[in-house]
Structure 1
Amino acid sequence: MRKTLFRTVACLIGLLSATSCKNYLDKQPDDMLTIDKVFAVRTQTQAYLSSVYSFIPDVLSMQNNYNMLGICDEGDFIWAASWAGQINNGNWNPTSGYYDKWAAFYKGIRSASIFINRVDECQDPTLEPQVRASWKQEARALRAMYYFFLLRQYGPLVILPEETIDVNAPNEDLQLARKPFDECLDYIVGEFDAVIASPDLPDRFVNANDKGRIDKNTVMGFKSRALLMAASPLWNGNTDYGNFRNPDGTALVNPTYDAGKWDKAAQAAKALIDKYPSGLYKKTPDGQSQFDPYTSYRDVFLDRWNQEVIYARPQMASSAADVGWERHCAPRFVNGWNGVGISQQMVDAYFMSNGKKINEAGSQYVETGFSAATGKYTKANTANMYVNREPRFYASVIYNGADWIYKEDGKPNRTVELFFTGNCGKQGSHDHSATGYLCSKNISPNSNLQEWTGALRSLVLIRLAEIYLNYAEALNEARDDQASRAEAAIYIDKIRERAGIPALESDKKASQAAMRTAIRDERRVELAFEGFRAWDTRRWKIAEQVDGAPLMGMNVNAGKSLTDTEFYKRTVVEQRAFPRNYYLWPIPQYDIVRNKACIQNPGW
């Protein structure tokens, strides 16, 4: 059986050294001396491609990796060493290095280009020509993906020559200016289109050993993301960047609005939707005839390679002990670190079981008091603000008095106490939720944190529900007419049906503005804690208002029991700052100094 592309190989670390320079323009003559040997043998060529894949970020990886929940209105990280706290307090500059991926993604780009340019040299008889051709397309897609990640984070880019720069090139040849945003986007989308049109890559890998490899459907997903980003207010008609120019006067951002960008985004999303006619993942319990919304939504992340998954990493690295999402979220009594606090803003964003927002007429939301009876997802004496909420809320948020999701055979459920003196409260440890909530989404009930192990599963990075939301948003913005809103509502309602709540009411579809709000509300809930919100608030250009607002939670400095009303008071957890320059990351100062043709982002 052909070895899987992602199997750990002994030479991987050595191969990474061939491409992992301190800077994307560093010259490495010593490393390049060994590159001929790399592309002489199939196993080493394959391992090199694995190293190119290794730059795909794990969006749930904690401990100052790439999880950005704490820098948007989704929540808070309690740990003092967290970059998020520094950013939220305005303590950020081009030398900080917070969530900085400039060098890493350029390393991935350079590695991909080396692979593309050299892979045909591998004439190992065990390497079939069709496999070699597929590998080349995968590397080409990865290179475009890394450019997309850079464009999303830093704006206009330096586009490197596709032929790798000679290691002996003089320093003046390494002075490369940034390209305009639209030119960068056209290059990225052009690369995606070339891969999609190639006969050398399958639409979808189906062999178990190939799961996790980039296929055409994955590329279509990233194309959808790129075009949606480009059509959004941050990049489409944003006059704030009117003076964002290279030293030679070249404008890096076009301030003119173009509705056609939304149409391109809608077409890209619909093309991918049409390839998944089976729709969203729905799970029917044994002995029942109807799917269960709670387990369907929960298990789309837990059941590997289910029908909704478009792209996933084969293994969720962030379930590990040191950087693990599960460990950081889980309560102390299961050996968790108990410190990913979900914001009150996010709790309030979830719908009621009747599909209404909590502040809508007829929602039946009650802010105070406690329930008298047991509900479908709640116990008696649960705070009323958590009663009769939609299933996605109970699959995602742990509130004061909720049961933890791990079920131990023969033992009663463990209740999470987040009030001051509770078993997970502030009094017990510096590891506590600052908001009075924890997160249970994307956590397996089968993980064993007592032994520092997470359940084996993939990390879902693109799923069909996101593409439905991309299509609905782009379609609504592309054309202000009732037919477009009706078409967009079809896909929002598919998501709401799987979530177990009613379809959109007519007032939500009455105007483009109303539909925009409904789509954004649905996206916020459906994609919560998956690594989207910090990018969405930026591309919508609302981050100054929502991410810069005070973060709210419950009063974790009070409470001696589950029904102590002193705990259930809306409280400012953190005063936050979001100055306008935060919309783009600063390019690291080291790179600005080395490459004088590359100007810094506005405000940095």
Structure 2
Amino acid sequence: MKLKYILPVLISAFSMTSCNDFLDREPLDNITPEAFFWSESDLAAYTIKQYSFTTHDGWNLGTWKNDNDTDNQVTGSFNSRWVPGEWRVNESFSTRGDDPWNFDKIRNLNYFLEIAVPRWKNGEINGTETNIKHYIGEAYFMRAWQYLSKLQTLGDFPIVRNTLPDEQQALTEASYRRPRNEVARFIISDLDSAIMLMNNSPVGGKNRITRNAALLVKSRAALFEASWETYHKGTNRVPGGPGWPGASTAYLKDYTINIDSEISYFLDEAMKAAEEVADNVSLTMNNFGEKLDNPYYAQFAAENMEGYEEILLWRAYDMEYKEKHSAGYYLQRGGGNSGFTRDFVETFLCEDGLPIYASSKYVGDNTIADVKANRDFRLQLFMKEPGELLSELSDVDTFGYPDILAKQEVRAVTGYCLRKGMPHTWYRDGDYCVEGSHVFRAVEAYLNYIEASCMKNGGSSIDSKADSYWKAIRERVGLPVNYQQTVAATDLVKEKDWAVYSGGQPVSKLLYNIRRERRCELMEEGFRMNDLKRWRALDQVKNYQVEGFKLWGSMQHEYVDNQGNSTLIPEGTEGKTANVSSQKNSFYLRPYQIIKTSNLVYDGYNWCDAHYLSPIAMQHFRITATDPENGETSVIYQNPGWPLKANAGAIGY
């Protein structure tokens, strides 16, 4: 059997279609190296087809749903990663794009670089030198982007720099997994090439990747690996750790690593890259107004994001070309099958810079208005409140009490509803939204630098540059710039945030508050799960109950029918199907404690260490094994804690 699932032969550079193709206007096909890659327009067309960023798409909340299934946000149904034994090894994936062990994009990018780079160096490509270099830089960027996804999902991974023949031996040897620190160094190297070649004013503006975006991603990748190696050190999830599966292979059995040296290298790289972005890109101003009259809010909901300096890459939509989405519609219509958790909402400071348990400004949580009162402006701005206008173009469309009883598609799952990205236009129908979708924001560079600086100093302090970045972030949202006041008032025992911990042990109060800042600033933007994994902040998650707003109290009286009868049916009501959790368990809505029968998360979320990394599907072991029926004979090794057996959960659970 040929290894068609690993490195397929490139039939056509544009045979693959994607809902995330930026600026995709007309299809191109029948591409051959003899006829193509001779002009800058050829390079531009090819590289943009390799874009694979998560942006608004389809009938859902778009990117604003990407923190679902974490301790920040939840959806109406649970994710199997919170039930040890339910997340299982696949035999294969029905869709190639769903398989993390997929080389399609990598193969396409290697193909491009093998042809375009020599032609560029030989002066054979027609066009402007600046543009030619930029598009080649994009290819290096996108290869790094693909590898970063592999690193975050699978850890150790094959490093493939060239296109390969469709021959068993060559493809089998190319399947050798390399230790994750080498993969991370490869990512950094590709991003350095991109940074060297790219500029910040490409044709197409910030709808195309820029040099600043490459610097930002370099800081992200380096910080991810530095923190992973720091907090997972001494486990089988780090090269050289006890039980690391790479040591069982012939090609890695003698592998050695100075992990402290690697951590130091990645922290330095993260700080250098982040500093260059943060020193040259200003944060968008916050005038503390509501919605689109406030640039800080508008940068998430504008149709044209080009003028917002902080936005480093974004996707444009256009009805004329049928480029549209439904994110704004679902933000306006109830909860969009999502909602913030109580623990996340309680993480936000009061406006005096103190945690809710230490501040006289905290009003309580009997109503949503109370919850938002006197709090960090980000909570006030980005969480909906009953009575507010859903569109500035209408004076009749207002947000009522969260519809926690709606059909799942639009349900307000926790009662705490998302508002970040909600548009100016009032959408009476879905699939008509044309607001832009941002991909990268410069504030992440500020946050990356602050965290790396604190880690570099053992969690006890940050340098003067990190100090200035943190003050800039706090000043923008109206918090006192003296973050040490927050640190001093923090009681880690009273903090419910999972990120208090790494490896089951509390971190310093300073480092925790840096993590708090990151959590609050990047809300709804899809960072949370990767952050929790790299911090190893999930070890202590056991029987964790997701809670939302305080339903049982003054807010329960809002849920009545036309006759004034309550529409709430608590769990355990005899002869009726429950639609909310019971106050016998908690005064707060528990979205996963409504129905007990066949409910695997009724008793809460649970974590197992194997889930820090995803399993590799069995088909990849079979096609690289000397005996296809025995995965142990493959050159690939399975991730720690996962069996070599299809449809089986993590070992020991």
Q: What TM bracket, shorter-length normalisation?
A: 0.7 to 0.9
The 1:23/1:231 distance shift into structure 2, 3 A limit, reads same
Distance in structure 2 (CA, Å) of the matches to 1:452 and 1:349: 34
Instruction: Specify the alignment match of 2:590 in structure 1.
Output: 572
Matched-pair contact (CA < 8 Å) for 1:229–1:539: yes
Instruction: Specify the alignment match of 1:542 in structure 2.
Output: 537
Give CA-to-partner distance per residue, 1:180-223, whole Å, 9 cap, x none. Answer: 1111111111121233234xx22x1265x243222221111111
Give the C-alpha shift of residue 389 in structure 1: 2.0
> AA paired with 1:513?
S
Give CA-to-partner distance per residue, 1:265-320, whole Å, 9 cap, x none. Answer: 223311222222xx2110559xxxx9999924312323412444353233269xx9
Give the C-alpha shift of residue 427 in structure 1: 5.7
Matched-pair contact (CA < 8 Å) for 2:331–2:419: yes
Q: Map 1:329-340 to 2 at 5 A.
A: 329-332=331-334, 338-340=336-338
2:450 to 457, 472, 475: 472
Matched-pair contact (CA < 8 Å) for 2:134–2:202: no
The 1:338/1:141 distance shift into structure 2, 3 A limit, reads closer
Matched-pair contact (CA < 8 Å) for 2:336–2:409: no
Instruction: Specify the alignment match of 2:514 in structure 1.
Output: 519
Give CA-to-partner distance per residue, 1:231-280, whole Å, 9 cap, x none. Answer: 1145555211222233227268958445624333223311222222xx21
Distance in structure 2 (CA, Å) of the matches to 1:477 and 1:180: 23
Instruction: Specify the alignment match of 1:583 in structure 2.
Output: 612
Instruction: Specify the alignment match of 1:85 in structure 2.
Output: 79
Give the C-alpha shift of residue 60 in structure 1: 7.8
The 1:308/1:128 distance shift into structure 2, 3 A limit, reads closer
> AA paired with 1:275?
N
Instruction: Specify the alignment match of 2:268 in structure 1.
Output: 263
Give CA-to-partner distance per residue, 1:449-482, whole Å, 9 cap, x none. Answer: 525311332x222212111111111111112597
Give the C-alpha shift of residue 97 in structure 1: 5.7
Distance in structure 1 (CA, Å) of the matches to 2:623 and 2:62: 25
Give the C-alpha shift of residue 588 in structure 1: 2.6
Distance in structure 2 (CA, Å) of the matches to 1:467 and 1:597: 38
The answer to whether residue 413 in structure 2 is matched with residue 434 in structure 1 is: yes
Distance in structure 1 (CA, Å) of the matches to 2:424 and 2:348: 22
Give CA-to-partner distance per residue, 1:544-589, whole Å, 9 cap, x none. Answer: 3459722111366983417999999324333222211111122233
Give CA-to-partner distance per residue, 1:165-193, whole Å, 9 cap, x none. Answer: 023x2356434210011111111111212
Q: Secondary structure at the match of 2:462?
A: helix
Matched-pair contact (CA < 8 Å) for 1:109–1:146: yes
The answer to whether residue 403 in structure 2 is matched with residue 403 in structure 1 is: no
Distance in structure 2 (CA, Å) of the matches to 1:495 and 1:443: 22
Matched-pair contact (CA < 8 Å) for 1:397–1:437: yes
Distance in structure 1 (CA, Å) of the matches to 2:443 and 2:12: 47
Matched-pair contact (CA < 8 Å) for 1:407–1:413: no
The answer to whether residue 346 in structure 2 is matched with residue 348 in structure 1 is: yes
- Higher mean displacement: 460-469 or 584-593: 584-593
Distance in structure 2 (CA, Å) of the matches to 1:492 and 1:437: 27
The answer to whether residue 421 in structure 2 is matched with residue 445 in structure 1 is: no
Matched-pair contact (CA < 8 Å) for 1:141–1:219: yes
Instruction: Specify the alignment match of 1:177 in structure 2.
Output: 176
1:219 to 204, 211, 214: 214
Distance in structure 1 (CA, Å) of the matches to 2:268 and 2:38: 46
Give the C-alpha shift of residue 51 in structure 1: 1.6
Q: Map 1:220-299 to 2 at 5 A.
A: 220-234=215-229, 238-241=233-236, 242=241, 243-246=243-246, 247-248=249-250, 250=252, 256-258=259-261, 260=264, 261-276=266-281, 279-284=282-287, 295-299=294-298
What residue ranges of structure 2 are gaps of 5+ in the alignment? 16-29, 491-506, 561-565, 569-581, 593-603, 625-633, 643-653
Distance in structure 2 (CA, Å) of the matches to 1:29 and 1:293: 46
Q: Map 1:106-505 to 2 at 5 A.
A: 106-119=103-116, 127-160=127-160, 162-167=161-166, 169-171=167-169, 173-175=171-173, 176-198=175-197, 201-202=198-199, 204-205=200-201, 209-234=204-229, 238-241=233-236, 242=241, 243-246=243-246, 247-248=249-250, 250=252, 256-258=259-261, 260=264, 261-276=266-281, 279-284=282-287, 295-303=294-302, 304-315=305-316, 324-332=326-334, 338-359=336-357, 361-367=358-364, 369=366, 383-399=369-385, 401-409=386-394, 411-418=395-402, 424-426=403-405, 431-446=410-425, 448-450=427-429, 452-457=431-436, 459-480=437-458, 484=462, 487-505=465-483
Q: Secondary structure at the match of 1:552?
A: coil
Distance in structure 1 (CA, Å) of the matches to 2:397 and 2:374: 21
Q: Map 1:54-93 to 2 at 5 A.
A: 55-58=52-55, 68-78=66-76, 80=77, 85-90=79-84, 91-93=86-88
What residue ranges of structure 1 are gaps of 5+ in the alignment? 1-20, 371-381, 419-423
- Higher mean displacement: 471-480 or 128-137: 128-137
Give the C-alpha shift of residue 136 in structure 1: 1.5
> AA paired with 1:86?
S
Q: Secondary structure at the match of 2:514?
A: helix
2:636 to 593, 598, 603: 598
TM-score relative to the length of structure 2: 0.73
Give the C-alpha shift of residue 348 in structure 1: 1.1
The 1:481/1:255 distance shift into structure 2, 3 A limit, reads closer
Give the C-alpha shift of residue 112 in structure 1: 0.9
The answer to whether residue 5 in structure 2 is matched with residue 23 in structure 1 is: yes
Matched-pair contact (CA < 8 Å) for 2:60–2:327: no
Matched-pair contact (CA < 8 Å) for 1:68–1:531: yes
Matched-pair contact (CA < 8 Å) for 1:446–1:455: no
TM-score relative to the length of structure 1: 0.78
Distance in structure 1 (CA, Å) of the matches to 2:300 and 2:35: 36
Matched-pair contact (CA < 8 Å) for 2:454–2:461: no
Distance in structure 1 (CA, Å) of the matches to 2:611 and 2:54: 21
Matched-pair contact (CA < 8 Å) for 2:270–2:449: yes
Give the C-alpha shift of residue 499 in structure 1: 0.7
> AA paired with 2:388?
D
Q: Secondary structure at the match of 1:221?
A: helix
The 1:264/1:580 distance shift into structure 2, 3 A limit, reads same
Distance in structure 2 (CA, Å) of the matches to 1:445 and 1:293: 7
Distance in structure 1 (CA, Å) of the matches to 2:290 and 2:390: 20
Matched-pair contact (CA < 8 Å) for 1:40–1:124: no
Matched-pair contact (CA < 8 Å) for 1:338–1:431: yes
Count of residues in Structure 1 that have an aligned counterpart in Structure 2: 542
Matched-pair contact (CA < 8 Å) for 1:330–1:439: no
Matched-pair contact (CA < 8 Å) for 2:366–2:550: no
